[in-house]
Structure 1
C-alpha cells in the first residue's frame, strides 16, 4: 500500500516538475527527490513495524545519500553547460 501511494506521489511530482534536458534544474530536483521519497518512507515504516532497528540518523542518512546519488547520476547524464569563454578557446 505504501509503495502504491509513493508511486502516485512520484507520478504527480513528475507531472509538476516535467524534468527534461531542456529543464536541467527540474531534472536535478526530480533526480534528488525520487530516491529520497522512496527510501525515507520505506525505511521509516520498517522501523515503525519493528522489522529494522535502524536509528533515526541512520535511516534518514541512507535516504539522503540515495537522493544525493540520484543527483550525482543526473549530473553525469546531463553535465552542466560550459561557460561561453571556455567554448571560444
Structure 2
C-alpha cells in the first residue's frame, strides 16, 4: 500500500472496523528492488475474522492496496494455555 509514511497508512487501514486487526495493524516500509525509496510503499499485516474478510479486502483495495494475500492459520495460541490453567486450578496446584 502506498502512503506518505507509516502513520498515513495506519490511518487508512484503521478507518474501517474490518481492517483494524486483532491488536492493530503491522506496517513496515518496503524497500523496492529498483532502489528508489521515494515511492512510499508499505506492507500491511492484519488479522481479520473470517466474517469480515471481504469487507477488509474491499477497504484495502479502495485504499490503494495491491497484492492482497490471505492465509488461514491452523492454530492461534494465546499467551497462556487456559485449559492448562483450569487443570491446575482443579488440581489445586500453583501454576
Q: Same fold (TM over 0.5)?
A: no
Higher strand share: 2
TM-score (ref. length: structure 1): 0.31
Q: Which one has a bigger Cα radius of gyration?
A: 2
Q: Normalization by structure 2: what TM-score? A: 0.30
